[in-house]
Homo-oligomer: A and B are copies of this chain.
Amino acid sequence: MFKTAFPSKLLENAVSEFANLPGIGKKTALRLVLYLLRKDTIEVEKFGNAIIELSQNIKKCKICKNISDNEICEICSDESRDKKKICVVENIKDVMAIEKTAQYNGLYHVIGGLISPMDGIGPGDLKINKLIDRVAETEPKEVVLALNSTPEGDTTNYYIFRRISKYTPEITMLARGVAVGSELEYADEITLGSSIKNRIRFTFN
C-alpha cells in the first residue's frame, strides 16, 4: 500500500511549508501549491525569490525601527516630513494604516508590541527605551501615542507618557469615538461615552 497520501516528496514539502503559515490549513496549502504547479517555473521562482530576498535583505530603520530597504527608512529620510513629530505605533501595519490616511506628516517609532503583564511582556521586551532615548535626544514638538485602544495599549500609553513627558511639550493620543459612517445605536456605551466627553468643535471636512 502507498505510504503517504502525497505522490511526491517535493509536493509534500511545499504543502507543509505553506501549512505552517498562520490561518492556512493542509487543504488550502495543497490548493495553493497545485496552483503554483500550474504556473511557469519562472513565475514560481519569482514568488520564492521575492520571499527569500525579503527575509535576507530587509532592514529595520535605525531611527524608527520601521522595516525598510535601507539603513534609514523612506519616511525618516523624507525631507518634506515634519521631523519634530513622532507617532508611536505598535507595528509596521499600524504605520501603513496611518500612512494610508494621508493625515499625518511626521515621523514614527515602532515599539514592536505592547506591555502585557499577563503575557509576561514588560517595557524591557519592547523598543520603549530606544523611544525614550530618541525623545530625550530630539525633543520633538509632539509625540502622538497611536497604540491600540485595549487595556495593553492603555497601559503602554501610560508608561510611555510617564517616561517622556519631561522631554516634550505635547503628548497626544488618537481620538476615541464613534466610527465614521456608523450608527449611534450600535456603538458600545464606553466608546459613545468617550466620544461625547471628548466632543470637538463642529467643522465641515
Chain A interface residues toward B at CB < 8 A: 1-2, 5-11, 13-14, 17, 20-24, 28, 30-37, 39, 41, 44-58, 66-69, 73-75, 78, 80, 91-93, 95-96, 99-100, 102, 105
Contact = CB atoms under 8 A, between A and B. Distances in A.
Contacts of A2: 74-75, 78, 99
Nearest to A41: B55
Contact of A96 (B7, B23, B37): B7
B34 A92 contact: yes
Contacts of A69: 8-10
A17 B51 contact: yes
A52 B46 CA distance: 9
Contact of A58 (B10, B78, B93): B10
Contact of A7 (B17, B30, B66): B66
A58 to B, nearest CB: 5
